Amino acid sequence: MATLEEIEVRFGRETELRRVEMQSLVWLVDLARRAGAKRLVINGSCVTDRPEPNDVDCALLVGPELLLNPQAEKELREGLPFIARQLVTEDDFRILSERFFATDRRAAQKG
């Protein structure tokens, strides 16, 4: 688990693209909180040492209370620049965070 500050220090400052992606991630976290998302996991090239990552892959755990803020939910579903997000329920979130995001293309454990 990491704070936005920790993510920015590690992955969001090196290049202009990383700084822009980090700003989109900050916007995403704000929307996710207002919409009622329970958890967020980030993955992909943004959490590597590549200077120019493609985007920020995210999985957001949502439940029936996602409608806490319909405007935030609408913006969340419409998307943000540089963010590839999936809004998923518990079973899919577990699969993404514990299997798919936890391994590389060759099924080797990350981290």
pLDDT of residue 93 exceeding 80: yes
Provide the pLDDT for residue 110: 67
Provide the pLDDT for residue 18: 93
Name which of 48-52, 89-93, 94-98, 100-104 the model is least confident about: 100-104
pLDDT of residue 92 exceeding 80: yes
d(CA 33, CA 22): 17
pTM metric for this prediction: 0.83
Per residue in 51-84, pLDDT (tens digit) is 899 899 999 998 766 657 888 888 888 889 999 9
Of residues 16 and 74, more confidently modeled: 16
Structure tokens of 5? Answer: 């500050």
Residues 6+ apart with CB under 8 A from 85: 28, 57, 58, 59, 60, 76, 79
pLDDT of residue 8 exceeding 90: yes
Rg (CA), the chain: 14
